[in-house]
Amino acid sequence: MESYRELVDALTVPVYEVRGNFKNMAATEVDFLHACVGLSTEAGELLDVAKKILFYGQSMDEHRENIREELGDLIFYLELACAAMSTDTDSMKAKNKTKLLTRYSSGRFSKQEAKCRLDKSLDAPDPAMVQDSDGSFEI
């Protein structure tokens, strides 16, 4: 590779392939993609508020309404993602609770348990991962 730009070009999926992917996407896949983009952009908007508070010395109170608006926007896209996955936020909360109580067995945060991530160990593989015959895991 001559330049970094050439590397980027070589590693980028060709546009005609991406367009083909969109044409073949199911409605739920389009909704899921929409939700993922929305979650990311709304999280960025929330982070912008945090920047103003943390680095520009503005108060949380003066941004309270905007924070609520951005949290609402995040909930909107979270609901859309859950609908695309044929699930709901209550199921996701229950699954997340199980994961966190596996990670933090005392029910309280500890740096040691955060580092160990017991819920990610091979004894408790992520259900989204499939184990190959050689013992390795693939998503």
**Interaction pattern, residues 55-94, with Mg ion; x per rule: CB under 5 A:** ---------------x--x---------------------
Tokens 């609901």 map to which residue?
79
CA distance 139 to 55: 39
DSSP 61-110: GGGHHHHHHHHHHHHHHHHHHHHHTT--HHHHHHHHHHHHHHHSTTSS--
Instruction: Tell me the closest approach of the beta carbon of residue 90 to Mg ion, in angstroms.
Output: 24
- Nearer to Mg ion (CB atom), residue 65 or residue 132: 65
- Residue 113 makes contact with Mg ion by CB under 5 A: no
- Residue 119 makes contact with Mg ion by CB under 5 A: no
Q: Which residues of the chain form contacts with Mg ion (CB under 5 A)? A: 42, 45, 70, 73
